[in-house]
Each structure stands twice: as structure tokens, then as C-alpha cells.
């Protein structure tokens, strides 16, 4: 059931002089059931926590982290003793430690009851309590007397069991502290799978003692030691997050071959790829030595990852090398393999046996879904949503990634609405149960450590809500209202997405930081990395400083919808937005002679001026209650058409106001307003 | 000689359409001699560096770091080959590697010549080249074509050989990555001594294998392993920075005694101090075992620090314990020690012999300067400038810290003007040569990792200029002009002072971030940590979010001076400042019921309103060319008097505009304008 309070629009969790039941909450993801009360549990130096029944190290550490975060908000030291006896401000009552290693079968549900005199968090497992502690922290409000936890009764359980983020560390390496902050953020929004894409054409990122030339010659010295892997797995485990490794084979494997050329065919020497796309070098699936290698390698590395799943990749195998190698063609003929897809499937069958021998269940990208695939495999769908339904009908478990490519510069709203099981699904309940959940994918071509948080947060929180919350939680405006608060909260654990624009503009903009910040309020980067992109780019250009979904842009489309529906306040706000946006071009031109970054912005600034002018014109027609003439309409349409992706060539930035202006133009023409 | 271009006021390093000689530079510290030219050395993908003569690992790494930073500004990969042959964009010509361990006797001078076709950096030592590379990076400008290095001819040599920063990691521990960023920043402004205050009453921060209970019981598990110490020393060495350890004895040593109570007197048990001040527990200087302990301890730890100097502390010895212990009093009598100061001096003599036996020269705080002190000791003056002159006359070398306590919340200008050798010194040239330089001191009572950078930067850059640049570089307005650019540049190495206010306000201010940022434009924190301060405070209050010398406050006093001198533009700007400042109170009051942090700001906001009103009144009298009446004058004086430090009690924040308003009030009364 959708909680009724979700329907109430923007208001923050505040308590006026006499405490009342707040009109809305800022919880994200939205719990299964929430009832706020007028009570307030004060948080001051006397705040204490006790545990009932289970009190293991993992729970104690989780409570310690929660108290530290609360303490930072309260500004004074809190009482830190965690005992198992007596009453306390917060009593955590956990029935069982749960799985020692986070497991797909973990019970993550919890119940939370906050009154003015104390709170109780009840969960079947420690991981459930960890989820509930995040909700507890999200209930924090404040007034003149200090901070408090809002009274509430909450029952919560996740909709999907597999709620993940893929991080590609091959295209660009990410240091362990960056990954720890990422895991902290994931835990805050109740994600539970860290899918670690550890090898690809551009880098092999794990220390192998069995095959040391893998990391020695495949990583530019940027790899994780086995000690670091254990450290990350332990960090994730403490937060109830599974760590699933991926070693992508037989394609996307160029970085294996500088060290071990015998795994592929051809003369070599082989090199790490430095650009993007698919590459010819592919593992040779016809040689027994390939399987012996993979057996020994997986045997070694499986010991580092206690998770039950092992991702074998399997995507985008370029058949050119197999087609062009006589020995491989002859092997295919003698083994009755009709084509390269059949050869790939045969390779997978061998690989799956190895993975299973080492105690793991194989996961692969949707290309592996071919006839004869063993149904034990889990299919990760990246090419579309249809394959997930098809494979579920064939009895396969699956996870959806296609709509959640977070490296694409789409708005949070675009990621928010696609559902792993759409409302109109034709799957039976049993088939639906095979859809385990979803994973957002953060591919690494165009991102470096300094820009990573800005490409993931806060948008990932919207996806996390899709995976956790009831299916009917779909109010985009309410999502953005809560995302605004959630984004600031995520900064608390050290994530730096909120600082991204200011930090980069400081380097790019000289004395004109305010101008560049205004420009970046109304643009987003293109999905590609700009002209000549390769692994060595520093990613310090204007497009790297830009956000995929800037806060100032969130409201423009909404305001346009409301304005054409007759909302005068929205129209006034929109006029301010458009005027501010339109003023950037002249200011940017004025500094172009001494700020190099201005050059990257002039094209989009000109487009912003055009959009501003057309949008203001359209608001003018609407205000005068006249319909636009044909000449103006033609001009407005052509201006919008000029901003189509295929028309803007190598621009690295695009304006975010095109949808809003399209709505205004249509209204000015007298067309009916768009449906939601 | 003071470079003439220092006299030219605010303008940035820009190149209008036809390249001209820029009117000013943004170098900090100002070199001994600078001549800018109209030439521009372009920085693009073809940029290269080569070395002549010396090409050791330290130089190669320093060049690599410089190229990386330049690359981030250029936004494209630069050519990274560092060869020893042929021409390159930048030729680095170093005569000798210099000392393997940075040394007080190091020649840090360099010459830099930049033309349109290439640059040459010449230095006697690698450290000199490291200093010159920073200047090279500070010459970077930009235009529509991209980035360039401004043409220049520079000769540079430091005024003082000892240019340091003390960091207290006892009161609050700082992790190694925080220290590395600090060292990066120090290298950017050419500081060369990291004085590491490693033990005090509140924590013992080094792993000792000889006496492991020191760090086990004295550090709350927050200490540096010996491996980490070596890592920091190596990192500093790479940047031409000496690392001098301090273990403060015989006072300020409470944290030694939980592990080794036999070092002091009394029954114990002993505990780490959690509050601030001086504490009674003091080492027992009468027992032979104390010296045996120190001998073994120093023998162990001296091996970790290759620097030739060892700081023994020696400050603020509370004589109470010695006075009250019969055995100590009897020892003093039998050894002819007239009082506790004489006992301390006797202790120092024994300690100095131990330090020297382990190959180090002792350094101590000015209390050690007593009759019979061996002249090999270096005196660090913290109680005033006079002791430095007195000790120099007595033949002691000294370093000045008294005016440079950067944990005090003073403006950069207040630190900038005090000189280790004032212009009116009565020291002979030989005595002046005994003044080695100075050290800023960052004491750690009221600072945590998250706030450290904001308490050090950018103000430390102004102190660094005092230690490096010619004595006649004293133009405060020009210092602030360059400090503004330097502060942004310091962010390049990961220092987060520029992000400090926004980051903290994000947690404190809910939806009212702009309001709180405006408030913090016009206030600074008090020097103490607020009511009840102790080691466990999270330091997340409004006073912790405030900056000691906010940028918006820099100009107020200057504008007031110019306004009373008849500058109409300055008067207009000041009116805007004061109006903005005066509006905060009402806005803050409006959110007080739901933002706890507002409460901490209401008193200072009321004071800001008063200052605003009085300042605007005074500007009104000036604009009307009338003299203020007596009633108004009395009112204005009483309002300013109410803001005297002794009157404002426990306020954690004070307004920064009092000096400016005092100037306006005096002008309105018809008093003559202040001298500079």
C-alpha cells in the first residue's frame, strides 16, 4: 500500500512551536509502511543505545557509526556506551546475527517505533537492524532546543533481494578509500550488492599470486592487493553488502594478454587498450590450457570473495579473431559448433563448471542466454528489459541493468520510473520471483576518482528506491523533494558530489566562479568523453565539472508543466529561471579572452540564450492569452530542432531546458498540455 | 630590492587580445626579483620537460607532480617523457642533488627564465628546483587559445632558512593523508620544516617498540606506526621539507604515565588528559631511571627521523608536583638547586646530552633559556619576540613563533606583518644571523581533521611569504589580492579549506544554506572551543563552520579606510556590505524554530545588525557632510564597547566588521582618519 503522506508535496521535516505531526517525511527509500506522530525523541548528551538478544561485533560497530553521525548533527558528544541491559534512548532488538557473509536470502526487514521517551528497532537479523538504523537517522529533525528523532511507527521490507551497483575499475582505477565512501553511500540508501568489474580491455585490477603478470603487466601498477580486497570485502560485510567480482571473459579481456599471450591467438605483443569500444583480442576457447588457466585463477581468487556468485562477463564478444583463425574454425567444425555464438556457449559451459567447482554460482550478461545454458546461471540484462522476461519464462533468474546505466547523463527521473517488473508484466508470480532485482552500472570510460561521486550521487538514491520501495511509489516530484535532502545527507559520510561543481569551477573559472556555476545550473554533459577521449585524459574540463542532473534544472520542466496548466507562481519562477539562463552567454563571451574554459561553454551558452528567448516569448503569448503566429512557431521549432543530439556534433555540453521550452512552445501554439 | 610591480594594485594575470606585459603577478611568496615579459609559453599536448646534469628520483618525481598539476589545468594529457637530452618546453638544469636529507644548510635558490619558445629553471640543488617548479606553476595564465606560462625572468632565494609549521597531533590526532595534503600545501608556499608535536597531555602518538605501553595506553589507538612515520618523512623529503619531531618533556607529558607511571611521582593510576591547559603530572627529574628511559626511547625514535634537530618541548612546567614531593625537594637541596626552574635546567642539561649522544641538536621552547644552557640549543620563542633578541645576544640560535599562532582566529594581515627581525632591530648582523626563521603553530585543542585545513589555509601562505620574501614586501592589500588566487590554487592538491563553509553549512542549515553562508561571511570564531570543550567534541557547530578570516570580511576594513578618505566607490560597496550583513538577523530568527544551529548565531547576528545600523548611519553623516551629534556618538560608542571580548562572555562567534565600523564612527564624529 502506498503511504498516503507521499501524496503531499514539498515540505520539510520541521516542528513548529507546538509539535505537530509533520506533513511529510524525507525517508529514502520510502519504507513499506510509515506513520509519523507528533512525538520527538530528543538527542543530547544523555542519548544512549542498548542492545537486546544479539550484540555481535557487526551490530556494535554499526551502532557506533550511527551514533557518530548523530553526534555530528547534534554538535556535542553523545553517550557512547552500548550495553545489553536496561532502558536506553534507542533499544536495538535483533533476533539472530543472520548470515556471517551477506546473502541473497538475508532477511533485511525491520520495525522501528519512535516515541518521545525512547525508540525500539526490531529486526530478525543484524543486516535488518543496519537498514533500520539508516531509517532512524533519516527521521532526525531539529528545532530551537536542538535535534530530535521524529516520532514514527515503521514496518519495512525490501521489494527486491538483489539491489546493486556495478563499478567498473578497469577503464579507470578507483582507490580503496573512494570505494569505501561508495559503500557508505550504498548502505545509506539500503543497496546490498557491490558488483566489482575488475578486469576489462583497459586494465586488470587484482593481484594474482598464481599469475602475477596479470597485474604486473595489465594494470599500470594500479591494482588491488589481496590484502586490500579483503579489506573492502570486510568493509562491505560490515554494512550488509555483498561483493560480487566480475572478470569479463572471453571478450573484453585485452589486459590479460600482455602478461599471458598464450590465452589468445595471434602473434602479439599485446597491449592494454587505451581507448574505448570492443577489441579483437579474445580468449582462445579451443585450447585446453585456457581452461586450466581459468581453473587455477578462479580457484585462487574465489578465496578472496566469500560471496556465492561469480560474474563471468560474457558480453560483446567480437567474433573476428575466431573467424580468422584456421585452428579455431577447424575445432568448431570437428565439435559440431555451427557458429561463433555456439563456440561462446560451449566456452561458457566449460567455464560454468569451473566456477561451480569452486563453489560459486555463475552470473553473466545477457549474451550468455543461449540454448543449452544451464538454468543455474543468473542473467544480467544490459541490452533491454525484454530479455529478462524471456529468460524468466525459460526458468532463469535475472537482474535488470538496462535502464540503470548511471554513467549515462540522464536525469534521476529517467532512472526512477523503469521497473524490473513493470506493472503490465505478463509473468506469472512464480516467474516474477525469478526477477531478483536490479543493478545500476557505473562504467568507467569517462570518469576518474575526482568525478566519480558526481556521476553516481544523488541519482543512485532514486534507483535504490526503485529496488527497495513498494511498486506504487512513483511520484517524481516527491522523489526530487526527498532526493534534495538525501543528497545533502550523503555528504555526511564523506561523499563529495555536492562539492563537485564548486571544486572544479575553482580551477576552471579564475575570478568568474559565480558565472560558471550559473552556466552549470542549466547544462549537462554529453554521454561521451569529448573529442579524442582516452585513458590518459585528466577529466578537468567544463564537461567534467558539469552535473548529469543539476539541482537548478530539476524544477524547470515541472514549472513549465504547471505554468501551462495556469499556475502563475510557476510562470513567474520560470521567467526568473529563463532570464538567468539567458544572461550567461554575454557574460561568458566577456571573459573568453582570458579563461580557456569559457570556450567550451560558448556554444551551449548560445543555445541557452535561444532557449531563454523562445521560452520567454512563449510565456508572453500565454500571459497575453494569444496564440503564437506561424512565423514565430516555425522559428521556435527550428531552434529546438537544432538542439537534437545528431545536430550538435561535438558539443560536450547540452542545455537541460529543452523539454521545458518545448512544453511552453506547444502551449503558445495552442496545443493541449502534455500528459504526465 | 622590492619589485616595483608590487606597488600596482588589484589586477589578475591575464593576457588581453594582443599579449602585453601584465600589470601584476600572483606569485606567493614574492620572489627576490621578478620581471614579467609579454611572452607566453603555450601549454598543450606537446608540452615536454627535460633535465640537464642532475636527474635523480626526487627531481623526476617533482617534475612528474608539476606536469600532472599543469595537465589538470590544461584539461588534456601532456607529453610526459622526461629526458636528459635536447630542447624541451621546460629545461631543468640542476648542479647537484644537494643533501639527501633536507638540511638547514640547503641552498634553495633558483633562477627561472620563461620565453615564448621555452623555459629554463636553474638551481644549485634539487630542492632549489622544487621551489622553482612551484613558481613556474604560479606563472600559469590562460586565454581563448588555452593555458600558457607567462614570460618572466626570476631570481629567487629565501630570506630565512627555517620556515616551519608546527602541527599538534596530541590534542587531536590527524591521519597520514591529512598530513600529506598539509605537506603538499607547505611545499606550494615554499615552507621547509614540518615540526611534528607528537606527544602532550592528551595523547602519545608514535609506536614505540622499546616502550609499547606508550602508544598502547597513551593514544586511544590513534598513533602513527613506525612504517607510517617513515612514509611521512619520505613524503616530506621528496618535497624538500625537514621533519622535526617533538616529544614534550618534562611537563605536558600526562599521556606517558598511564603506560609508565614510574616516570612521574605519586600514586596513580594516571590517565590521558581530556581537557585543556597545564596538568600537574610531570616527569621526575631526580631519578636515574627517568634518564635511562629517555635514553633508550630517544635512541629508538631518533632512527625514524633523519633530521638533525630534536625538539624537547620544555614549556609550561607546573612546579606543584615537584614542590610537593619530599624526595624531589631533598634532591634539590643536596644538589644545590635553588628552585624548580633550576631543577628544570638541570633536567635539560641531562636531556641535551642524551639528545646529542643520538646525533641530534636540541631545540626547546623559550622557558629552556636559562643560565647555564649550552649554546648549541636552539630556542623557539612562543611567549614574545623579545626573548629571541635576548637569546641571540647571548649567542643562541632561535626561531620565532610568538606572533604566528595560527590556531588563533586572527586575520591573515595580523600574521603577515610581524617580522622575525623587525626593521628597527638592534641586533648586529652576526646576531641577526642567529635568527634562523620562524614557525607557525597549529595547536590542536579545537580542531579535528575535518576542520584542520580551514584553520591553516590560506592564512599560512601569508606567514610563509613573511619567512621567504624580502623584508620590504609588506603591502597588505596586495597580499590579500594574491592570497585569493593562492587559496584557490592550494585546492589543487586536495586541501579542502575552500569547501569548508559550504560543507559544514550543508549539515547545519537544512534548506537555509545561503543564509548561513551569508552569516559566516561576516563573523569569525572565538579562540576557545566553546562551552564545555573537551577532546570528544565533534566540532560540527556553527563556530567550527566559521572561518578565521572569511574572504568577504577581508575588504571591509580596507573599504572603510578608503571611504573615510573620500572614495565614493568604496563607500557604495561598504553600504552594500553593511546592508547585507544587517539583514541576517531577521532571516535567522525566522528559521530559529526548526534549525538548531540558528541559536548559536542569533547573538552575533544581533551584533551584526547593530554594526550595520551604526555603520550606515555613519556613512549617512559622511554623505551629508555633517558631524554626528553627541547622542548618536554615545550610542555608537556604547554599541562598539559592548562587543569587546570581555563583554561578550560565552559567544562562540564575533563579528568581523568592528574595526571598519569604528573607522566610520570616528569619521562621522569628525575625528581624523586612522593612519595605516
Please state, as a whole number, how many other Cβ atoms lie within 10 Å of the Cβ of residue A45. 13
Query: Closest-CA residue in chain A for B18?
Result: A593
With bands split at pLDDT 50, 70 and 90, how would you rate the model's confidence at B84?
low
Is the pLDDT reported for residue B43 higher than 90? yes
* Span A202-230, pLDDT tens digits: 999 999 999 999 999 999 999 999 999 99
Average pLDDT over residues A269-275: 96
Inter-chain touch B594–A14, beta carbons under 8 Å:
yes
Judging contacts by C-beta atoms under 8 Å, the chain A residues touching residue B145 are 596
The domain defined by A200-205+249-374 folds into TIM Barrel (3.20.20)
pLDDT recorded at residue B2: 33
For testing contact with chain B, the best of A221, A481, A596 (most B CBs within 10 A) = A596
pLDDT tens-digit profile of B171-184?
999 999 999 999 99
Structural element, H or E, at residue A526: none
Q: How confident is the model at residue A64 (pLDDT cuts 50, 70, 90)?
A: very high
Helix, strand, coil content of chain B in percent (nearest 5): 45, 15, 40
Contact B109/B157 with Cβ under 8 angstroms?
yes
Which DSSP helix (H) or strand (E) runs through B37?
strand B33-43
- Report pLDDT for A8: 31
Q: How many CB atoms lie within 10 A of CB A426?
A: 8
Statement: residue A307 has pLDDT above 70: yes
Q: What is the mean pLDDT of residues A582-601?
A: 95
pLDDT at A83 > cutoff 50: yes
Q: Decide: helix, strand or coil at residue B603.
A: helix
Q: Which of A69, A538, A551 to mutate to test the interface with B (most CBs of B within 10 A)?
A: A538
**What are the C-alpha distances in Å from A523 to residues A516, A562, A601?**
11, 22, 10
Q: Cell numbers of B317, please? A: 612546567
pLDDT higher than threshold 70 for residue B556 = yes
Q: How far is the C-alpha of B273 from the C-alpha of B278, rounded, in Å?
A: 10
Q: Residue A14 pLDDT more than 90?
A: no
Query: What value does the mean pLDDT take over residues A78-97?
Result: 80
How many Å apart are CA A375 and CA A396, to the nearest integer?
A: 5
Neighboring chain B residues of A491 at a CB cutoff of 8 Å: 503, 506-507
With 50 as the cut, is the pLDDT of residue B547 above it? yes
Contact list in B for residue A537 (CB cut-off 8 A) is: 75-77
Q: Do B488 and A507 touch (CB under 8 A)?
A: yes
Of A141, A492, A499, which has the smallest distance from its Cβ to B507's Cβ?
A492
Evaluate the CA torsion angle A197, A200, A202, A207 in order and state its sign: positive
Whole-number pLDDT of residue A82: 61
**Nearest-neighbour CA in chain A from B414: distance (Å):** 25
Inter-chain contact A143–B594, Cβ cutoff 8 Å?
yes
Helix H or strand E encompassing A574 = helix A568-582
Highest mean pLDDT among B440-444, B507-511, B526-530, B626-630: B440-444
> Are B71 and A538 within 8 A, CB to CB?
yes
Q: For the residues A329-336, what does the mean pLDDT come to? A: 97
pLDDT tens, residue by residue, B651-665: 999 999 999 999 999
Which one of B538, B589, B602 makes the best mutation probe of the A interface by having the most chain A beta carbons within 10 Å? B538
Query: What fold characterizes domain B31-156?
Result: Chitobiase; domain 2 (3.30.379)
Range in A440-444, B116-120, B374-378, B438-442 the model is least confident about: B374-378
pLDDT value at residue A7? 29
Burial B571-596 (b: 16+ CB within 10 A, else e): bebbbebbeebbbbbebbeebeebbb
pLDDT band at B675 (very low <50, low <70, confident <90, very high): low
Beta bridge partners of A36: A152
**What are B192-247's pLDDT values in tens digits?**
999 999 999 999 999 999 999 999 999 999 999 999 999 999 999 999 999 999 99
Parts of chain A belonging to CATH 3.20.20.80:
200-205+249-374
pLDDT of residue B660: 95
Q: What are phi and psi of B9, to 5 degrees?
A: -80, -175
Residues of chain A neighbouring B502 (CB-CB closer than 8 A): 498-499, 502
| CA distance to partner chain B, nearest, from residue A183 (Å) | 20
| pLDDT at position A10 over 80 | no
Q: What is the pTM of this model?
A: 0.94
Q: At what angle do helices A596-624 and A630-641 cross, to 10 degrees?
A: 150
Q: How many CA atoms lie within 13 A of A339 on its CB side?
A: 5
Instruction: Give the strand pairing for A653-655 and A162-168.
Output: unpaired
Q: Which of A316, A450, A492, A517 is catalytic?
A: A316
Query: Do A15 and B594 meet the contact criterion of CB atoms below 8 Å apart?
Result: yes
Between vectors from CA B333 to CA B331 and to CA B337, what angle results, nearest 5°?
Answer: 90
Contacts of A650 (CB under 8 A, 6+ apart): A530, A531
Band (pLDDT 50/70/90 cuts) for residue A261 is: very high
Q: In the predicted model, what is the mean pLDDT of residues A608-623?
A: 97
Which residues are within 8 A (CB) of B255 and not within 5 positions of it... i.e. 6 or more apart?
B170, B199, B200, B201, B202, B203, B204, B214, B218, B219, B272, B273
pLDDT per residue as tens digits for the range B246-278:
999 999 999 999 999 999 998 889 999 999 999
Provide mean pLDDT across the span A231-237.
98
The helix (run of H) or strand (run of E) holding residue A467 is: helix A459-468
Active-site residue among B300, B316, B450, B492? B316
| DSSP reduced 3-state for A35 | strand
The mean pLDDT of B350-367, rounded to a whole number, is 96
Q: Where in chain B is the domain with CATH 3.30.379.10?
A: 31-156
Give the pLDDT mean for A613-635. Answer: 95
The pLDDT value recorded for residue B555 is 87
Q: How confident is the model at residue A676 (pLDDT cuts 50, 70, 90)?
A: low
Contact criterion met (CB < 8 Å) for A510 and B541 = no
- CA distance linking residue B88 with residue A219, whole number of Å: 29
Interacting residues of A560 by C-beta distance below 8 A, sequence separation 6+: A570, A574, A659, A660, A661, A663, A664
Q: Cα(first)–Cα(last) distance of chain A, in Å? A: 22
User: Residue B645: pLDDT band by 50, 70, 90 thresholds?
Assistant: confident
User: Quick one: average pLDDT of B607-617?
Assistant: 97
Q: Do B510 and A145 touch (CB under 8 A)?
A: no
Query: Distance between CA atoms of A144 and A15, rounded to whole angstroms?
Result: 10
With cell 581452461, the residue in question is: A291
Residue B337 clears pLDDT 50, i.e. is over it? yes
**Mean of pLDDT values over B609-632:** 96
Estimate to the nearest angstrom the gap between the alpha carbon of A508 and the chain centroid. 27
Q: Which of B324, B309, B200 is closest to B251 using CA atoms?
A: B200
What are the C-alpha distances in Å from B104 to residues B312, B353, B373?
Answer: 18, 21, 22
Decide if B488 and A502 are in contact by the 8 Å CB cutoff. Answer: no
Tell whether the model's pLDDT for residue B51 goes beyond 50: yes
Query: What is the pLDDT averaged over residues A460-473?
Result: 98
Of A71, A144, A538, the CB nearest to B75: A538
State which residue of chain A sits closest to B484, comparing Cα positions: A511
Q: Does residue A85 have a pLDDT over 70?
A: no
Q: Is the pLDDT of residue B371 over 90?
A: no
Distances (CA, A) of A382 to A184, A371, A385, A454, A521: 26, 19, 8, 23, 31
Per CB-CB distance under 8 Å, the chain A contacts of B592 are 144
- Average pLDDT of every residue of chain A: 94
In this predicted structure, what is the pLDDT of residue A595? Answer: 95
Let me know: does A240 contact A102? Beta carbons within 8 Å.
yes
Distances, alpha carbon B608 to alpha carbons B122, B352, B559, B617, in Å: 52, 53, 17, 14
The segment(s) of chain B belonging to CATH 1.20.58 are 497-668
Residues sharing a CB contact under 8 Å with residue A579, sequence separation 6 or more, in sequence order: A612, A616
A316 is catalytic: yes
Q: Kindly state the average pLDDT of the residues A24-50.
A: 96
| Strand (E) or helix (H) holding B152 | strand B146-156
Among the partner residues A75, A498, A592, nearest to B541 by beta-carbon distance: A75
Average pLDDT, rounded, for chain B: 94
Grid cell in block for residue A310 = 561469480
Residues of B in contact with A538 (CB under 8 A): 68, 71-72, 74-77
B385-408 pLDDT, tens digit each: 888 999 999 999 999 999 999 999
Q: Do A491 and B503 touch (CB under 8 A)?
A: yes
Q: How confident is the model at residue B14, as a pLDDT?
A: 46
The stretch B624-647 carries a mean pLDDT of 93
At A654, is the secondary structure helix, strand, or coil? strand
Q: DSSP states of B401-470 as a string?
A: -GGGBTTS---HHHHHS--SS-TT----HHHHHTEEEEEEEE--TT--HHHHHHHHTTHHHHHHHHHHS-
Give dist(CA A654, CA A603) in Å, integer.
9
Range with the poorest average pLDDT among A508-512, B354-358, B499-503: A508-512
> CA A211, A212, A216, A218: dihedral to nearest 10 degrees?
20
Torsion, Cα of B81, B87, B93, B97 (10° steps): 30
Q: In the prediction, which pLDDT does A86 show? A: 60
* pLDDT of res. A80: 64
Q: Residue A94 pairs with which residues in a beta bridge?
A: A53, A123
Residue B41 to residue B15: CA distance in whole angstroms: 12
Q: Which CATH class is domain B497-668?
A: mainly alpha
Residues in a beta bridge with A153: A35, A113
The pLDDT score that the predictor gives to residue A135 is 98
Q: Which helix (H) or strand (E) holds B376?
A: none
Using CB atoms, pick whichever of B14, B145, B538 lies closest to residue A75.
B538
Min Cα distance A486 → chain B (Å) is: 11
Q: Minimal CA–CA distance to A523: which of A654, A640, A675? A: A654
HEC sequence for B173-227: CCCHHHHHHHHHHHHHCCCCEEEEEEEECCEECECCCCCCHHHHHHCCCCCECHH
> Residue A250: is the preceding peptide bond cis (ω within 30°)?
yes
CB within 8 Å: A593 and B145: no
User: What's the CA gap between B256 and B263, in Å, rounded?
Assistant: 8
pLDDT band at B13, cuts 50/70/90?
Answer: very low
pLDDT computed for residue A373 by the predictor: 85
Distance, CA of B318 to CA of B314 (rounded, Å): 11
- Mean of pLDDT values over A309-332: 96
- Residues from chain B that touch A597, judged by Cβ atoms under 8 A, are 75
- Closest partner residue to A538 (CB to CB) among B72, B534, B593 is B72
Amino acid at each position: 500500500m502506498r503511504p498516503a503522506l507521499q501524496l503531499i508535496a514539498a515540505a520539510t521535516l520541521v516542528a513548529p512551536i507546538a509539535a505537530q505531526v509533520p506533513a511529510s517525511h524525507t525517508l529514502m527509500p520510502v519504507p513499506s509502511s510509515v506513520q509519523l506522530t507528533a512525538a520527538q525523541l530528543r538527542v543530547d548528551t544523555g542519548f544512549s543505545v542498548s542492545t537486546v538478544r544479539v550484540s555481535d561485533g557487526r551490530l556494535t560497530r554499526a551502532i557506533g557509526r550511527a551514533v557518530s553521525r548523530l553526534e555530528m548533527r547534534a554538535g556535542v558528544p553523545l553517550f557512547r556506551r552500548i550495553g545489553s541491559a536496561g532502558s536506553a534512548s534507542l533499544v536495538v532488538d535483533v533476533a539472530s546475527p543472520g548470515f556471517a557473509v551477506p546473502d541473497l536470502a538475508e532477511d533485511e526487514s525491520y520495525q522501528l517505533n519512535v516515541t518521545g521517551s525512547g525508540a525500539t528497532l526490531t529486526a530478525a537479523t543484524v543486516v535488518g537492524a543496519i537498514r533500520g538504523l539508516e531509517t532512524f537517522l533519516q527521521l532526525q529533525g531539529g528545532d530551537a532546543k536542538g535535534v530530535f528523532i521524529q516520532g514514527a511507527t515503521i514496518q519495512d521490507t525490501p521489494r527486491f533481494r538483489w539491489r546493486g551497483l556495478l563499478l567498473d575499475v578497469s577503464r579507470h582505477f578507483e582507490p580503496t578509500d573512494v570505494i569505501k565512501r561508495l559503500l557508505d553511500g550504498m548502505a545509506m540508501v539500503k543497496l546490498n550488492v557491490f558488483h566489482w568489474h575488475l578486469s576489462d580491455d583497459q586494465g586488470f585490477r587484482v593481484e594474482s599470486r598464481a599469475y602475477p603478470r596479470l597485474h604486473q603487466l595489465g594494470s599500470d601498477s594500479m591494482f588491488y592487493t589481496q590484502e586490500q580486497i579483503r579489506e573492502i570485502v570486510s568493509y562491505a560485510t560490515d554494512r550488509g553488502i555483498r561483493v560480487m567480482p566480475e572478470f569479463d571473459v572471453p571478450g573484453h579481456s585485452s589486459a590479460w594478454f600482455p602478461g599471458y599471450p598464450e590465452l589468445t591467438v595471434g602473434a602479439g605483443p599485446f597491449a592494454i587498450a587505451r581507448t574505448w569500444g570492443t577489441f579483437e583480442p579474445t580468449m582462445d576457447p579451443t585450447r585446453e590450457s585456457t581452461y586450466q588457466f581459468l581453473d587455477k585463477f578462479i580457484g585462487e581468487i574465489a578465496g578472496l570473495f566469500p560471496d556465492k556468485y561469480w560474474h563471468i562477463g560474457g558480453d560483446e564478444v567480437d567474433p573476428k579473431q575466431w573467424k580468422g583463425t584456421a585452428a579455431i574454425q577447424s575445432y568448431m567444425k570437428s565439435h559440431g559448433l555451427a557458429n561463433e555464438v555456439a563456440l561462446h556457449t560451449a566456452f561458457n559451459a566449460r567455464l560454468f563448471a569451473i566456477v561451480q567447482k569452486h563453489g560459486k554460482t555463475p552470473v553473466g550478461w545477457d549474451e550468455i542466454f543461449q540454448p543449452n545454458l544451464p538454468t543455474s546461471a543468473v542473467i544480467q540484462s544490459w541490452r533491454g528489459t525484454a530479455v529478462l522476461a524471456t529468460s524468466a519464462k525459460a526458468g532463469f533468474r535475472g537482474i535488470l541493468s538496462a535502464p540503470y546505466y548511471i554513467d549515462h547523463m540522464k536525469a534521476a527521473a529517467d532512472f526512477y520510473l523503469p521497473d524490473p517488473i513493470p506493472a503490465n508484466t505478463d509473468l506469472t508470480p512464480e516467474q516474477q520471483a525469478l526477477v531478483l532485482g536490479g543493478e545500476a552500472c557505473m562504467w568507467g570510460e569517462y570518469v576518474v576518482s575526482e568525478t566519480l561521486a558526481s556521476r553516481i550521487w544523488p541519482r543512485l538514491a532514486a534507483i535504490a528506491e526503485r529496488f527497495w520501495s513498494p511498486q506504487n511509489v512513483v511520484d517524481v516530484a516527491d522523489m526530487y523533494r526527498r532526493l534534495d535532502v538525501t543528497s545533502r545527507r550523503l555528504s555526511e559520510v564523506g561523499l563529495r558530489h555536492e562539492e563537485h561543481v564548486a571544486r572544479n569551477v575553482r580551477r576552471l573559472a579564475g575570478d568568474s566562479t559565480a558565472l560558471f556555476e550559473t552556466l552549470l545550473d542549466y547544462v549537462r554533459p554529453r554521454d561521451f568523453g569529448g573529442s579524442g577521449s582516452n585513458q590518459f585524459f585528466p577529466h578537468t574540463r567544463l564537461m567534467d565539472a558539469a552535473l548529469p542532473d543539476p539541482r537548478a534544472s530539476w524544477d524547470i520542466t515541472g514549472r513549465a508543466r504547471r505554468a501551462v496548466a495556469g499556475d502563475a507562481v510557476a510562470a513567474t519562477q520560470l521567467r526568473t529561471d529563463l532570464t538567468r539562463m539567458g544572461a550567461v552567454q554575454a557574460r561568458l563571451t566577456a571573459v573568453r579572452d582570458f579563461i580557456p574554459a569559457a570556450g567550451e561553454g560558448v556554444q551551449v551558452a548560445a543555445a541557452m540564450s535561444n532557449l531563454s528567448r523562445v521560452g520567454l516569448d512563449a510565456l508572453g503569448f500565454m500571459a497575453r492569452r494569444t496564440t503564437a503566429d506561424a512565423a514565430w512557431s516555425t522559428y521556435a521549432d527550428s531552434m529546438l530542432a537544432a538542439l537534437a543530439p545528431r545536430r550538435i556534433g561535438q558539443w560536450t555540453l547540452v542545455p537541460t531546458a529543452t523539454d521545458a521550452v518545448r512544453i511552453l512552445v506547444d502551449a503558445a501554439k495552442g496545443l493541449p498540455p502534455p500528459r504526465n
